Structure 1
Amino acid sequence: MKWPYLCIAGGAALWGTIGIFIKELSHIGFTPIQIVVLRALSASLVFIMITCSSNRSLLRIKLKDSHYFIGTGLLSIAFFNWCYFKAMEEMSLSAAAVLLYTAPAFVLILSRFFFRDLITAKKVTALAITFLGCLFVVGYLPAAHAGVSLIGLFTGLGAGLGYSLYSIFGKAASVKYHTLTITTYTFLFAGLALFPVSGLSASFHLLGNGQTLLYIAGLGIFPTVLAYLLYTVGLRHVEPSRAAIVSTIEPVVATLTGWFLFQEALTVWQTAGILLVISAAVVVQDKKTRQTLQKKISAS
């Protein structure tokens, strides 16, 4: 099946546009952790409205299943964002981004234990190609150097681990719950957990501007609601390890966004990295999907 991979890639591509909204909200005066809370709470509000209008019963969950949403909301979204922002304080952004994209490796290992997914040569090859591509895309290769502290190393790896946990808990939850249920409670749990420590209440005066509210709505809808809906739908039909590798198209989109919208330089090495990440997304697909793609390419 081709469409689940397209859903995952589409969701990851939307994640890659998040920098547009973060740049503007940061300029307005919000801190990174406050932006995370705004993203989570605005997204959960949109998810609740969508769910209520389509099927209100989807908002019902069993108390014993709360661990799924603690996993996706707290252990993944909240933990990942905290680690990522802490890592960015300790090292260069490029180094933090490289450590973040150790996530597919964590998914590969965890999927073996939780879902008994096979660690195949194809997956390992795709993972290696992906990681190399990410190194080029974020500019860490071929000649960049960065001193990484021990705290930076562990928080960077923690971001990768937290990022990977959404695929694990999301896959497990998808067996029992609808995509809307999973994404709604993921962001509701994350937003409520981070709000008390975010200091957002002291920045409420920044919300009086209509343009600010527009950016918050855009942040909640495009790189969040639509992105996670697409990714979670695709995840229902794809192994978490494969999904995690395909989702690394996100830094590619982020790089291209910076190039088109913010006139950031795009080097030859970054272009090579983009091609490597795309090729890894093709390699990791199953044989039937690749044959379909090859037929379409031949016919065009």
Structure 2
Amino acid sequence: MHYVKKLYSSDIIGYLMIFGAGTLWGTIGLFVKLLSGVGASTSLIAFMRLFMGFCILIPIMLCTGGLKIFKIDKKGLIQCLLLGILSQAIFNYCYNVSIGSVGVATASILLYTAPVFVCIMSKIIFKELIGSYKIFALIINLAGCFLMVTGGDLSYFKISAVGISFGLAAAFLYSLVTIIGKIASGNIHPFTVVFYSFLFGWLMLGIISAPWQSIGAVSGLNFWIYAFGYGLIPTVGSYLLYMGGLGKNLEISKVPIIASVETVVATLIGVFVFKEKLNFINVLGIIILLSSIVIMNMKLKENEIEDGN
């Protein structure tokens, strides 16, 4: 019984770290709007996020672990390479193509199918059980996201074979953060995983879009302040919490549901900071999404009590 309580406590910390990561990710829209407001292009914004995150991590890692924390074996380097290229660089490319083809609302809805991919892969790779309550939580989570993004107005939803294909590809690549991150977190320090994934990510984005060509036009003080905040809060802070949480004894299929609090935070920032309108349907979407997170944790608690008896 003592072991079960200790294990449950560790799980709670892990899920709280995932929740915290999602909360910080919810500020992404704030920084994107601030950077866009000073003239930064979409490709430059994506590049600066990873590049600034990479730079910010260097002194943090030196202070916490010295040079030894940068050491990584070949297997770990390959995992970080996959994270950086697939889940950072190519993900951003696919998501931007989807937005350009079907709009922000539809692309966002397609991105929120990522938990479905995580659920499927967690069963195949980690042999997790997919019970009816998980399926129910996934369904209402997706429904909540849909209502928050569209406000119930179906005119926001656009159809395009290219846009939908790239949107689903972005969702799959986004889901790999959880899967590959879980595999890597078992053997590598979270700081190290995040550092090398950022490194490979900004290098790949640089090759794809050459964003520095436009940096001269926006290199004022405000741009660098916003870029630093973007690299620190929804990038370094969120990924360190996320990878740290994945290192705990968590059910991976539950992780993206809990991290979806990002959508709620983003919506509330839009209302309170940018004075965006929030109707009854948006509020209903928030309640539904938060309910999916509660369902996951209520079920977890019940399972732990049963195990303890």
**TM interval, short-chain normalised:** over 0.9
Letter of the structure 1 residue corresponding to residue 199 of structure 2? L
Q: Aligned partners of 1:160 and 1:136: how far apart in 2?
A: 18
2:283 is the counterpart of 1:271 = yes
Q: Aligned partners of 2:284 and 2:142: how far apart in 1?
A: 13
Pairing 1:1-300 to 2, within 5 Å after superposition: 1-56=11-66, 57-139=68-150, 141=152, 143-206=154-217, 208-237=219-248, 238-285=250-297, 287=299, 289=301
Q: Percent identity?
A: 36
Q: Aligned partners of 1:272 and 1:117: how far apart in 2?
A: 31
- Show CA shifts across 1:182-233 (max 9, x none): 1111111100111123232212324541111100000000011111111111
Letter of the structure 2 residue corresponding to residue 3 of structure 1? I
Query: Which runs of 5 or more structure 2 residues have no equivalent in the other structure?
Result: 1-10, 305-309
Q: Aligned partners of 1:194 and 1:140: how far apart in 2?
A: 33
Q: Aligned partners of 1:140 and 1:84: how far apart in 2?
A: 21
Q: Per the alignment, do residues 286 and 68 of structure 1 end up closer, same or farther by CA in structure 2, a change over 3 Å counting?
A: farther
Cα offset, 1:290, TM superposition: 6.6
Q: Indicate the SS of the match to 1:91.
A: helix
Indicate if the aligned counterparts of 2:105 and 2:156 stay in contact, CA closer than 8 A: no
Q: Aligned partners of 2:34 and 2:142: how far apart in 1?
A: 29
Q: Per the alignment, do residues 47 and 144 of structure 1 end up closer, same or farther by CA in structure 2, a change over 3 Å counting?
A: same
Indicate if the aligned counterparts of 1:132 and 1:273 stay in contact, CA closer than 8 A: yes
CA RMSD of the aligned region, Å?
Answer: 1.7
Indicate if the aligned counterparts of 2:137 and 2:293 stay in contact, CA closer than 8 A: yes
The range that moved more, 203-212 or 119-128, is 203-212
Letter of the structure 1 residue corresponding to residue 257 of structure 2? I
Indicate if the aligned counterparts of 1:207 and 1:213 stay in contact, CA closer than 8 A: no
Q: Aligned partners of 1:185 and 1:95: how far apart in 2?
A: 32
Cα offset, 1:64, TM superposition: 3.2
Q: Aligned partners of 1:232 and 1:176: how far apart in 2?
A: 12
Indicate if the aligned counterparts of 1:95 and 1:140 stay in contact, CA closer than 8 A: no
- Show CA shifts across 1:142-192 (max 9, x none): 543533110001001011101100000000000110111111111111001
Cα offset, 1:67, TM superposition: 2.1
Q: Per the alignment, do residues 228 and 290 of structure 1 end up closer, same or farther by CA in structure 2, a change over 3 Å counting?
A: farther
Letter of the structure 2 residue corresponding to residue 2 of structure 1? I
Q: Per the alignment, do residues 151 and 143 of structure 1 end up closer, same or farther by CA in structure 2, a change over 3 Å counting?
A: closer
Q: Aligned partners of 1:91 and 1:126: how far apart in 2?
A: 27
